[in-house]
Amino acid sequence: MSGDNHMVNMYRAIRQETLNICHSLELEDHTIQPSSFVSPPKWHLAHTTWFFEELFLKREEDNFKSYDANFFFLFNSYYNSLGEFIPQQKRGILSRPTLRNTLKYREYVDNKMLEIIARDRLTPAQKSLIEIGLHHEQQHQELLYMDIKYILHSSNAVYQEGKIDSAQQATRNWEFFEENLREIGAQNWGFSYDNENPRHKIYMYPFLISDTLVSNGEYLDFINSGAYKKHNYWLSLGWDFIRRNNIKHPLYWKYHDKRWYEYTLNGLQELDLNAPVVHISFFEADAFAAYKQARLPTEFEMEIFLYTREDEAKTALSLHPFDITSAKRQVWCWTSSSYAAYPGFKAFKGPLFEYNKKFMCNQYVLRGGAVVTPQSHYRDSYRNFYLPSQRWMFSGIRLAKDLCENY
Ligand SMILES: [Fe+2]
């Protein structure tokens, strides 16, 4: 199979997967925006297409005719260098284009892209641009799961049928990593984003890291201990955040008739005490670590730990995490590391310099992937990042400790 046949197959499969994720949605689910941080699925379908049209077809293909000139403003996410765009919080006011027209837009762009890829005359720079476009699409596939869950949770709607298997109880062990000079960042093979580069050396002090994720049961103990009412566990901003927003439990937990339930993509389920806690803010993760007299790992400790663990998610068919002992692709683990540039960092060239760099302020890094992270998109050097107050991503906790004589 030639390289470009491989790219044709990759392009088809990844674009199709986005449609598959939306397949069970109703028309109404595609258009609403229940919060400013959520994008309607219809917007994701169009924006991922806009990415190929605007950044590839319009620039690389002579005589390319745009599908609809109005779409530029509607589906540019945040690229100031390209032009004006609709504010993020207004993505839900668009009744047009219709879903049907949005799907036609995808088809139009896909036909053109596949024709170009099949011509087998792509330069290395063009191939790399398409590769970024496909990883961008996979990033939006995870965002789609996050947004669909948020959209459906108010009505406890079932996204996919089936009962989720109960998780196994696990005992926590602490893995020890000795003091050492280590290398961090993207390996020199395969795709990586600019923010994972360059690979560089870092001196690491000895640390202990938990081989299990924090479970719902442990988190429930934290709640029942009155932790949401005790300021001493909380960062000042975190204490303000939970009080101002009346936060008393993880995002999708519900208390009803003296029982705890959790909304999942399989609908409302009784809380599985052995499953990993998920959909919590950095503030809650940090407070939980303080309650346990531990701390959150740094992103470097997470990366070193992940490289020693070969396990992959065992939950391919379940969209609810249940394997507390898995290191990878169960829940994204909050780290104590602020999202910042690595030494020697160089942003992507051209308009894509805005892809990651401009978000390097006031956000924290999460590591390890989640059940909704596409497998071929995930790498151990992958740096996910969110505001410390955000909770709608599949975020959880892995504890770490310093090594001193008290432990
Ligand atoms: Fe995007």
Res 154: pLDDT: 95
- Rounded to the nearest angstrom, the distance between the alpha carbon of 315 and the centre of ligand 1 is 26
Question: pLDDT value at position 384?
Answer: 98
pLDDT for 1 equals 43
pLDDT tens-digit map of 265-286: 999 999 999 999 999 999 999 9
The answer to whether the beta carbons of residues 366 and 385 sit under 8 Å apart is yes
Distance 300 CA to ligand 1 centre (A): 26
pLDDT classification of 13: cutoffs 50, 70, 90: very high
User: How many Å apart are CA 324 and CA 8, to the nearest integer?
Assistant: 37
**DSSP letters spanning 121-176:** ---HHHHHHHHHHHHHHHHHHHHHHHHHHHHHHTTT--SS-SPPPPPPP----EEE
Q: What is the mean pLDDT of residues 8-29?
A: 97
Going from the Cα of 47 to the center of ligand 1, the distance in angstroms, rounded, reads: 7
How confident is the model at residue 118, as a pLDDT? 94
Report whether pLDDT(319) > 70: no
Q: What does the pLDDT average to over 129-154?
A: 97
Cα-to-centroid distance, 140 and ligand 1 (Å):
7
Alpha-carbon Rg for the chain in angstroms: 22
| Alpha carbons 383 and 299: distance in angstroms, whole number | 8
- Ligand 1 midpoint to CA 399 (Å): 31
Distance (Å, whole) CA 105 – CA 42: 11
State pLDDT tens for residues 158-175.
999 988 888 888 899 999
Give pTM, 2 decimals: 0.96
Over residues 187-201, the pLDDT tens digits come to 988 999 999 999 999
Which phi and psi angles does 245 have, rounded to 5°? -105, 5
Question: For residue 79, how far is its CA from the centre of ligand 1 (angstroms)?
Answer: 10
The Cα 236–Cα 152 span in angstroms is: 32
Distance 78 CA to ligand 1 centre (A): 8
- Picking from 100, 3, 105, 104, the residue whose alpha carbon sits closest to that of residue 57 is 105
For 63, residues 6+ apart whose C-beta sits below 8 A from its C-beta are: none
Q: Could you give the 3-state DSSP secondary structure of residue 217?
A: helix
Of the candidates 268, 284, 270, 294, which has an alpha carbon nearest to the alpha carbon of residue 331?
284
Burial letters for 31-60: b for 16+ Cβ neighbours within 10 Å, e otherwise? bebeeebbbbbbbbbbbbbbbbbbbbbeee
Mutual orientation of helices 282-291 and 236-244 as an angle, nearest 10°?
Answer: 120
pLDDT score, position 300? 98
- d(CA 75, ligand 1 centre) in Å: 9
Please tell me the distance between residue 147's alpha carbon and the centre of ligand 1 in angstroms: 14
Average pLDDT, the chain: 94
Q: How confident is the model at residue 329 (pLDDT cuts 50, 70, 90)?
A: confident
Q: What is the mean pLDDT of residues 7-26?
A: 97
Give the integer Cα–Cα distance in Å for 77 and 84. 10
The pLDDT value recorded for residue 2 is: 52
Whether residue 251 has pLDDT greater than 70: yes
At 270 the three-state DSSP class reads: strand
Residues in the chain: 407
What is the rounded average pLDDT of the residues 124-140? 97
User: Which pLDDT score is estimated for 314?
Assistant: 57
Distance, in Å, from the CA atom of 277 to the CA atom of 334, rounded to the nearest integer, reads 12
Reported as a single tens digit per residue, the pLDDT across 50-104 is 999 999 999 999 999 999 999 999 999 988 888 899 999 999 999 999 999 999 9
Ligand 1 center to 136 CA (angstroms): 6
Inform me whether the pLDDT recorded for 407 exceeds 50: no
User: Ligand 1 centre and the CA of 133: distance in Å?
Assistant: 9
181, containing H or E segment: strand 180-184
Q: How far is the CA of 289 from the centre of ligand 1 (A)?
A: 33
Q: Which of 337, 267, 265 is nearest to 300 (CA)?
A: 337
**187 phi/psi in degrees, rounded to 5:** -75, 165
Residue 270, token pair as written in the block: 């009784």
Structural contact between residues 383 and 367, judged by C-beta atoms closer than 8 angstroms: yes
Q: How many angstroms does the Cα of residue 165 sit away from the middle of ligand 1?
A: 33
CA 18 to chain centre: 15
